[in-house]
Chain A
């Protein structure tokens, strides 16, 4: 705090600083002109411009000026507060000023980066600066509150990202709850036969990690479960998890699978989701032999006992562990954690959305994930590439960029398809000896040893045709095409349109956000980009953080990425969570709301509106007043805006602050 009383125009003494940000700002904004303009504004005791305000000399200049010029308020016009608000708050504190006597003006993202008209942009910066200078007068000295951090962590999603994050955290001695929606962990990686570019067996590297999760003393594994509700705040989250009934006691079942043999359905006849529908399963099933936990489950949609209650329950009879319980009900369990790692993954593009490629119409058209199962030794065909009609393909076409790099579907590059297409080309050729064609737009191989993998495929005699496939048809124009699928494509290297007859078409589908990504992000109160992937706090400098403190993201839920990147990111997310937990406490932003009891009429308007359940009525009956738990309050301002008698005030967003800012923008 300043403690000085000398005033300028009777107003608090403001120091105004404008940053060049190299040429990021100064290239568009006439910073010297803004500085001169600010000097003349009421209350401004000193105004400066500097090349990099965030640099050490820049910060030191502020701290020194505060002392020398007895500054009582600080305004810095620079980049986004997301980036450097904390930097300048600390600089203010070093100068002896309460850090909340500070207002930041974002003139980079809000002006220099988005405007080309230099004069108008400079005028806008003056307007914004004037508004901040007008508002900062009304700021109050505030203190941050410290609260302890719960050392336990929740990891959501049991794919390779969630598995790796959970193991890293558990190995560091933290208690981890890993929640997975499906009946087994493993995610997409568990579907693969081999991984690119090394062609090592996916199961061989994944299943040891899966069983490590299961047996780790610090990990509580909840599969077939979903997070229902998240309350609280960084360091102190209260999470409700819905645990769906498996109708089999997880603690009793040892995964002997005798019940599956004993099921009254002699043959498997229901769609096997794990095998992408290429195989069949019974009502009692296990996704795959290495499923973790190795526990069977009963599908209530198809099980006779669960549907009608009239089955002889041969499955339960044969179980000597007495693990079956058809009365099992869904239950909600609550856990408390300090940090959350979201690794909820992605889904693949629905190939049926591209009618030209005939998926779902021609049995010979497959998605890449289906082929992953076909070439997999533990897949429905035990690794034999056999078509739906029972034949073996002699020629196979792999169509790249299905649902990627396409204005009609998804504009983004899904990053992994080129490489997995090469992998599948290699595996199909290896398994069948067929002629394999890759139809690609650009071959993208930017990872370690990826280009070399492409070179290897070139030398294996796989054909590469550059061009986006226009359609797949069974309409034969020559006898050779009769009874086969014809891929029509413009070969942009050869410069003509080709028709290539094949027996099997593989659609390399792109990666998309999960269908429930929006619901999930709302549940965890984080953001999404326009395409629907979870939004990181900063694309370069905070790639696993989100705008919600204590919630971290890793893997395909953030953007399409391959296994090495996913694992690296999962490790980073775990490290960020550890850093948070091991600090032992968090400082809460003081931009919270509060209610003066003598002003509250007890109308209860605010109570249901608070998204953090931070408001309750103190005492019942006549004199009940609303009170805000400032630890739960996250400063969203909903209650302050809604309070009909203006009795809720939010720090840093009082009416005086907001209206003076508006007036500052509007009055010249």
Chain B
């Protein structure tokens, strides 16, 4: 066994974008590979669960786990890696706060299964067959992971040392985190490895934000020609920047798209969506109920907009069956 520190990468309910981000380190990844011994990385290398199980406890220096926890298999892996690792880094929005998969918490499990396997247009399933945890076919027993009733963030399942925010985290933040880990310069447990200040701080459009937005309507990016210089909120676009932790260097506003909030809130905010709602909606121009409703009609999917990455950790939690 190598004397380099062992590092594991794992993915739970995620899209693979976080894996991409690791690859996006480009030539820097060689430095990482040089410095550490990668003992698990399902997307790139072939390892078996038994390999990890065979390792002594706490023998992995750091496990980077991305994705939300949605199935029994993901939970098993998370617990296994926790047991074998000295440090667990919750990697990316899904692991940190549920991410896109957590939007499923708006619906009950039965509701989801019924839609996906029966009601969804395009489904041809006259027998109403659904996946089963255990099924027997010609004497052979087949098993599948069980779908949990709720999508959880990683820290709702296991203890987590650090968080790398983003959908996905930027290579710069990943590299800084890896270097801090290798150098042993570790911040206090629970730290989110990104500046604890809202995105506006680093947005080049900041100066063009008027102090009173007086919003008369909300627009979606495809409905307008976006002015590349002007504050996006001032253009009526839902930019989550003011309620979102900075550190990405305002990539989306820089690319002429509003921030969707993937870095989550600052450490001082318990519920990102609620905070955004109470701040920006206080700046709606009409003051009567009808006028306010008309402005809000510009946001067809409030939960998908304000809680796009954070439903697991929000005060809303989930829909009970």
A residues with CB within 8 A of B: 598-605, 607-609, 617, 621-622, 638, 641-647, 649, 655, 659
Question: Would you call B230 an interface residue if the criterion is a C-beta within 8 Å of the partner chain's C-beta atoms?
Answer: no
Q: B265 to chain A: which residues have CB within 8 Å?
A: 645-646
Task: Choose among B201, B211, B212, B282 the residue that contacts A601 (Cβ–Cβ < 8 A).
Answer: B201
Question: Can you sample 14 A-B contacts with CB below 8 Å?
Answer: A599-B196, A601-B199, A603-B206, A604-B209, A605-B242, A605-B283, A607-B212, A621-B207, A642-B282, A644-B276, A645-B197, A645-B268, A647-B266, A659-B270
- Contacts A598-B197, A644-B279 given: A604-B211 contact, CB under 8 Å? yes
Closest approach, in angstroms, between the C-beta of B3 and any C-beta of chain A? 41
Interface contacts beyond A608-B283, A642-B278, A645-B245: sample of 18 additional A-B pairs, CB < 8 Å, sorted by A:
A601-B200, A605-B279, A605-B280, A607-B212, A608-B211, A609-B283, A617-B211, A638-B282, A642-B282, A645-B197, A645-B198, A645-B265, A645-B269, A646-B266, A646-B268, A646-B275, A647-B197, A655-B268
CB nearest to A596 among chain B residues: B268
Which residues of B216-257 have CB atoms within 8 Å of chain A's CB atoms? Answer: 241-243, 245-246
- Contacts A608-B212, A642-B278 given: A603-B241 contact, CB under 8 Å? yes
* Docked CA distance A621–B265 (Å): 24
* Docked CA distance A604–B241 (Å): 12
Q: A659 to chain B: which residues have CB within 8 Å?
A: 270
Q: B241 to chain A: which residues have CB within 8 Å?
A: 603
Closest approach, in angstroms, between the C-beta of A587 and any C-beta of chain B? 29
* Docked CA distance A385–B278 (Å): 63
* Docked CA distance A429–B114 (Å): 87
Q: B207 to chain A: which residues have CB within 8 Å?
A: 621-622
Closest approach, in angstroms, between the C-beta of B48 and any C-beta of chain A? 44
Contact call B211/A646, Cβ cutoff below 8 A = no
* Docked CA distance A643–B243 (Å): 8
- The SS class assigned to the A binding surface is loop
B interface, size bucket: 20 to 34
Closest approach, in angstroms, between the C-beta of B273 and any C-beta of chain A? 11
Closest approach, in angstroms, between the C-beta of B81 and any C-beta of chain A? 31
Q: B270 to chain A: which residues have CB within 8 Å?
A: 655, 659
* Docked CA distance A397–B207 (Å): 72
Q: A599 to chain B: which residues have CB within 8 Å?
A: 196-197, 266, 268
Contact call B242/A603, Cβ cutoff below 8 A = yes
CB nearest to B233 among chain A residues: A603
Contact call A644/B198, Cβ cutoff below 8 A = yes
Contact call B201/A602, Cβ cutoff below 8 A = yes
Closest approach, in angstroms, between the C-beta of B204 and any C-beta of chain A? 9
Closest approach, in angstroms, between the C-beta of B276 and any C-beta of chain A? 6
- Contacts A601-B199, A601-B201 given: A643-B212 contact, CB under 8 Å? no
Closest approach, in angstroms, between the C-beta of B61 and any C-beta of chain A? 32
- Contacts A601-B198, A647-B268 given: A609-B282 contact, CB under 8 Å? yes
* Docked CA distance A504–B197 (Å): 76
* Docked CA distance A607–B212 (Å): 8
3 A-B pairs with least C-beta separation: A646-B268, A601-B198, A644-B243
Q: A647 to chain B: which residues have CB within 8 Å?
A: 197-198, 266, 268
Q: A641 to chain B: which residues have CB within 8 Å?
A: 278
CB nearest to A641 among chain B residues: B278
Q: A609 to chain B: which residues have CB within 8 Å?
A: 282-283
Contact call A601/B268, Cβ cutoff below 8 A = no
Q: B201 to chain A: which residues have CB within 8 Å?
A: 601-602
* Docked CA distance A600–B206 (Å): 13
Q: A621 to chain B: which residues have CB within 8 Å?
A: 207
CB nearest to A623 among chain B residues: B201
Closest approach, in angstroms, between the C-beta of A651 and any C-beta of chain B? 15
Q: B282 to chain A: which residues have CB within 8 Å?
A: 605, 609, 638, 642
Q: B199 to chain A: which residues have CB within 8 Å?
A: 601
CB nearest to B214 among chain A residues: A608
Tell me which of B199, B210, B242, B275 has the highest count of chain A C-beta atoms within 10 A of its own C-beta: B242
Binary contact readout B260-289 vs A (1 if CB under 8 angstroms, 0 otherwise): 000001111110000110111011000000
Which residues of B164-217 have CB atoms within 8 Å of chain A's CB atoms? Answer: 196-201, 206-207, 209-213
Contact call A601/B242, Cβ cutoff below 8 A = yes
Contact call A601/B279, Cβ cutoff below 8 A = no
Contact call B197/A644, Cβ cutoff below 8 A = no
* Docked CA distance A643–B276 (Å): 8
* Docked CA distance A621–B206 (Å): 9
* Docked CA distance A599–B199 (Å): 11
Q: B197 to chain A: which residues have CB within 8 Å?
A: 598-601, 645, 647
Q: A604 to chain B: which residues have CB within 8 Å?
A: 209-211
CB nearest to B245 among chain A residues: A645
Closest approach, in angstroms, between the C-beta of B244 and any C-beta of chain A? 8
Q: B210 to chain A: which residues have CB within 8 Å?
A: 604
